[in-house]
Amino acid sequence: MSKIRKILNKKNKSKIVCLTAYSKNISEEIDKYVDITLVGDSLGSVLYNYSSTRKVTLSEMINHSKSVRLGVKKSLMVVDMPFKTYTTKNIALKNAKKILKETKCDAVKLEGGKKIIKQVEFLIKNKIPVLGHLGLLPQSVKGKFKSKGKTTQEIKQLMSDALLLQKTGVFAIVLECVKTPIAKQITKDLKIPTIGIGSSVHCDGQVLVTDDLIGLNHTNIKFVKKFSNVKKYINSGLKKFAFEVRSKRYPTKKHSY
């Protein structure tokens, strides 16, 4: 059974677990627990302190994805297509092929619905699996991030886009910051899985930025829960190292040639 078929088969059966990775060290750890490893363009803010994911380049995504691939053994590996890499269907295909060829990933993710449907359709027609993304679209946001599904127009658009993406052939859709009743309804209406981020427990799965949940990245975003605090352990090791160097306890003969 293909990895994508396994994701599709989880609909209404078991929750899908998805986390981000930007390097081999992290991907080989999360691969033990997740169904999907996502190389997100969130690496722009997490690693490079960019003010927007719009600044992330294709080469940055490819380089990090190559590293991530080394640690992924069982999960489905998906790579975000960065801003302006899928402005037309031909540009989208060229860049998606480049991503798949150079990173050996399993699928790509594009943000949007009707506005990019020709690109999504063209990729799928050319046998490139696509993960959809609706709701809050970081690549399209100028200013403050806001949840989606509050107005009648937003609700109508979300419902329409979700059905359109499903019809076009995406294997799942990320719903970011979509109001709970709307996320619940979309999940119910679709035959493909939804993966929520800030969109309630009613989605078929959940995704978070790994650096956020392990406490490595400081954030006040509402949907982020800190499941561990690795900074505490990092600081402990650094403190011991600094102490042993200054007190001449390290390196000993054991650690010297």
Active site residues: 176
Sequential DSSP letters for 156-188: HHHHHHHHHHHHHT-SEEEEESB-HHHHHHHHH
Quick one: which of 50, 105, 49, 40 has its CA closest to 77? 105
Q: Is the dihedral of CA 153, 156, 157, 158 positive or negative?
A: positive
Quick one: which of 214, 233, 232, 212 has its CA closest to 223? 212
Identify the residue whose tokens are 């990775």: 21
Q: Is 204 exposed, middle or buried (0-12, 13-18, 19+ CB in 10 A)?
A: buried
Q: 166: Cβ–Cβ under 8 A, 6 or more apart, which residues?
A: 173, 190, 191, 192
